[in-house]
């Protein structure tokens, strides 16, 4: 399998390509590593062994026997809004080729996200309504569905545009994966319920699947654990300490469970 490692590819634009993990990590802004509790950290550590992680993912998704000669693995993949004005949807890791699209969203210590109803504001923002309808148009076009705002009011807005991002690419075999890095404090049930809500609206089409990949973390580096303590005590801007550990050391191990929603 030929895996092309990328960063920040925008939909329909030519990507930059990188030869390895060290090149990839340089693409992130320094501030991304200020907090050792940011989801970027376990995401990069987990996918550092890109070849074996990719094989395990394909096996869990039951797509290992499909044509996978060339696969793009793009971190921080951006899909622009289709209507209105706003920031692009930015997927932590998009894995794709002409046959498959896998949108992976990492969760670590993040709080719950706003529902569509709350994100639209009260009174409803006309621009946000346009943006949301743009995402829904992408989804409805692919699935032949007729979803409207009222159908998704109680679903997290982020999951809606993450699903739409998976619909913006040509691969007909589509998957959305929430990769939850758990140290015993993350509300796994919340993410599972959100995925179930979205799946109940779209799974009957047989054109997309939703998954939860729970990765229990075991910290394995004393220096990194000390940085966690320093952060929890209020110290900030730890990137210069965090980055060398990510690059050169094993800082955590994972015990993973894969759930098809």
Each residue of 88-102: pLDDT tens digit? 999 999 999 888 999
67 has a pLDDT exceeding 80: no
Asked which of 56-60, 133-137, 205-209, 227-231 is least confident by mean pLDDT, the reply is: 205-209
Average pLDDT, the chain: 91
Whole-number percent of the chain with pLDDT over 70: 93
* Contact indicator for 238, 231 with CB cutoff of 8 Å: yes
- Structural domain count of the chain: 1
Q: Is 34 within the bounds of a domain?
A: yes
- For the residues 20-37, what does the mean pLDDT come to? 92
CA separation for the pair 166, 242 (Å, rounded): 31
Q: Is 117 within the bounds of a domain?
A: no
Whole-number percent of the chain with pLDDT over 90: 75
pLDDT given for residue 226 in this prediction: 98
Range of the domain at 251: 2-110+159-260
Q: Single out the residue of 178, 179, 124, 184 nearest to residue 156, CA to CA.
A: 178
Classify strands 252-260 and 208-219 as parallel, antiparallel or unpaired: antiparallel
pLDDT given for residue 65 in this prediction: 57
Q: Is 147 within the bounds of a domain?
A: no
Confidence of residue 205 (pLDDT cuts 50, 70, 90): low
Q: Is 130 within the bounds of a domain?
A: no
pLDDT given for residue 12 in this prediction: 41
Sheet holding 208-219, edge to edge: 17-18, 2-7, 70-79, 89-96, 100-107, 173-182, 208-219, 252-260
Q: Is 14 within the bounds of a domain?
A: yes
Asked which of 69-78, 86-95, 116-125, 250-259 is least confident by mean pLDDT, the reply is: 69-78
pLDDT given for residue 13 in this prediction: 44
Q: Is 251 within the bounds of a domain?
A: yes
Which of 33-47, 66-80, 98-112 is modeled with the greatest confidence? 33-47
Q: What is the pLDDT of residues 156-169, one digit of tens each?
A: 999 999 999 999 99
Q: Is 145 within the bounds of a domain?
A: no
Q: Is 121 within the bounds of a domain?
A: no
- Please state, as a whole number, how many other Cβ atoms lie within 10 Å of the Cβ of residue 126: 9
């Amino acid at each position: 399998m030929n895996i092309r490692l990328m960063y920040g590819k925008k939909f329909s634009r030519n990507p930059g390509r990188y030869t390895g993990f060290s090149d990839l990590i340089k693409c992130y802004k320094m501030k991304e590593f200020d907090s050792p509790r940011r989801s970027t950290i376990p995401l990069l550590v987990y996918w550092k062994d890109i070849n074996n992680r990719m094989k395990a993912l394909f096996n869990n998704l039951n797509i290992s026997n499909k044509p996978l000669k060339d696969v793009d693995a793009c971190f921080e993949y951006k899909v622009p809004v289709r209507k209105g004005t706003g920031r692009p949807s930015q997927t932590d890791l998009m894995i794709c080729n002409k046959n498959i699209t896998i949108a992976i969203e990492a969760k670590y210590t993040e709080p719950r996200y706003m529902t569509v109803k709350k994100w639209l504001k009260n009174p409803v923002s006309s621009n946000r309504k346009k943006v949301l309808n743009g995402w829904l148009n992408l989804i409805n076009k692919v699935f032949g569905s007729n979803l409207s705002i009222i159908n998704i009011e109680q679903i997290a807005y982020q999951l809606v545009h993450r699903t739409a991002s998976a619909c913006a690419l040509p691969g007909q075999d589509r998957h959305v994966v929430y990769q939850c890095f758990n140290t015993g404090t993350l509300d796994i049930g919340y993410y599972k319920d959100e995925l179930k809500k979205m799946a109940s609206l779209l799974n009957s089409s047989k054109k997309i699947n939703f998954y939860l990949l729970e990765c229990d973390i075991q910290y394995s580096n004393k220096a990194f654990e000390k940085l966690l303590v320093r952060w929890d005590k209020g110290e900030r801007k730890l990137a210069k300490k965090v980055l060398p550990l990510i690059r050169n050391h094993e800082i955590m191990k994972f015990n993973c469970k894969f759930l098809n929603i």
